[in-house]
Structure 1
């Protein structure tokens, strides 16, 4: 009780900056615990870091995300950041880097972004998030994802973009309708 549970889910690739996440967890100390989920993650517990190696089914991953206090992401080269959206959809605020696609997803009031990829900056961003109303940030994060990234809206935008590129002004025979 009283320990903040941080989570990162994804593959253990160099661009995810996992050593930085682990260093930040160590620097944050015993009041924080980092859960690393995904293929290639270090298995088991090491201090205040626990790794779960391997692919996790989406329903189980969603349960893990929902049980945490925040997503923490040290990657600086994300081209989209699906795990960021998944965490926000689960009601988690995000701690991340102000780099790549993450700033486009984590709008003000939904998380805290570090401006440089250092242990100190990530620790400061984490402490800043928890000095605020992180639960309210998580609720705003969920609303943001529902408003901007729900499948119906995403697909409608994609179809609209294809129509524009193809020069098709009116709906064609491939119009998509939400619902039954």
Structure 2
């Protein structure tokens, strides 16, 4: 199935922001990678690159939100970090640490307020989804929300460090210590 120029532009924006950040994702590179013309860009994104990258941020965020929902629905909480951190370890290893999280790239786009706002909305959504999972697992609501925010912060920080260090050790360290914290937060298992 052939994808249209809008979908190709969104995918190219996600990929380039993962690799180079928003500033490094120049218009020419976006058009070349998306195999699209400047006319197509403005037809689908009348406000140009900023609108495209904001949309791509929302799309990428929704994809990762789906991962969070699948992980929290299909496993006990003690296995969530294995899945979430494992996914990123694989992604970084297979890209030789060249690609990171597109949401972080968007969050750092100070000169693009709409893009940065899209990143903020994605992070808030992830916090909420993960917080609901923790609350459903037995954490008090306030602790669940706060812990979800901390988990996302630790995960994203570990991704950034892993890229810079060309090592998945920061992700493994964050996973290990978050697992210990989670065990302290979870209510004791009922005796069978």
TM-score strictly above 0.5: no
- Identify, as 1 or 2, the structure richer in strand: 1
- Identify, as 1 or 2, the structure richer in helix: 2
* TM-score with structure 1 setting the length: 0.29
* TM-score with structure 2 setting the length: 0.28
